[in-house]
Structure 1
Amino acid sequence: MATDMELHAVASLLRRGHSLDLLSTGLSLLGALLGLGQWLLGVSAPWAIALSVALLVLGLLQKYWALRVAFDAELFQRVADSPLPLAERSAALDQALSALGLQPANAGGRPWQQRSRGALNLLRRQAWLLAAQVLLTLGFILASPWLAIAG
């Protein structure tokens, strides 16, 4: 059975998703500037435009997972902070999620360990998308023609 401290720990880990989201937003803006710069300069390097689009798409996907992670972080924090017994908190959360259409009615009653694993998997997805953005950005830097000129 989950303890309040475990719920607080999961909420704390999930809040780290905000930092990942900030970095991803910066990389997405870099991708947008790269694409806009290509268009404004009239340079039609297909690889640079493809890279720009890929950075933007990955950034949008990461933003979706970041929203889900932030939502779960708030839920875990509220459940952990509640003075009610854990069983009552779980039932209230399941009822609220079902009423809002965010969870099927028959999906309630899951153990907190399973909920925690699911929420942390969302955080992992977010981190993987950020890692893909970082690799694409590094690939662009290393493949850029100005790098050969500067070195």
Structure 2
Amino acid sequence: MSTDMQLQTTASLLRRGDSLDRLSSGLTLLGALLGLGQYVVASPGTWGLTCSGALLVLGLWQKYWALRVAFDADLFQHLAARAQDLPERTQALDHALTALGLQPADRGDRPWNERISGALTLLRRQALLVAAQVLLTLVFIVAGPWLTFAG
């Protein structure tokens, strides 16, 4: 596969992180409402507050990865659109990232396969955090009613 198609495909995959981010935002909001509901409707229970806090922490952590994935998606898209002068653009990108403190100077001359692999690793981390949020939400939905009877 040519480098411009790899960049375009990677950018397209990374843009899927936006859907993950929207799902996570909903689950984070659910966690906040769950925590507030513990104080408004009933006396605060440790199970509900723990779930709520965990959903909020996972949501904020996911938001960090979502920002990084979106940044990479924009960069890959920009570079794919101008792939004919990729070596010069790669050097300019490395210089800009180093000047802004976003990349150490010694990480500059990496091959594109390594850069693509790193960007997809960020997307996987984001997806794992969203999966953890979904799993925690499902556990709360299934176990929540049983825990109110238990104590």
In which range does the TM-score fall when normalised by the shorter chain?
over 0.9
Kindly provide the amino acid, as one letter, of the partner of residue 18 in structure 2. H
Could you tell me which runs of 5 or more consecutive residues in structure 2 were left unpaired when the two chains were aligned: none
How many residue pairs were aligned? Answer: 149
Shift in Å, 1:147: 10
Partner of 1:88: 88
Instruction: Compute the RMSD of aligned alpha carbons.
Output: 1.9
Between the aligned partners of 2:29 and 2:146, the Cα distance in structure 1 is: 20
Kindly provide the amino acid, as one letter, of the partner of residue 82 in structure 1. R
Shift in Å, 1:3: 1.2
Kindly provide the amino acid, as one letter, of the partner of residue 110 in structure 2. R
Q: Percent identity?
A: 66
Could you tell me which runs of 5 or more consecutive residues in structure 1 were left unpaired when the two chains were aligned: none
Partner of 2:34: 34
Partner of 1:108: 108
Deviations 1:107-137 (A, max 9, x none): 1010000000000000000000000000000
Partner of 1:47: 47
Shift in Å, 1:146: 8.0
8 Å CA contact 1:2–1:112 kept in 2: the answer is no
TM-score normalized by structure 1?
0.93
Deviates more, 1:48-57 or 1:78-87: 78-87
Please state if 1:119 is matched with 2:119.
Answer: yes
SS in 2 for 1:144: helix
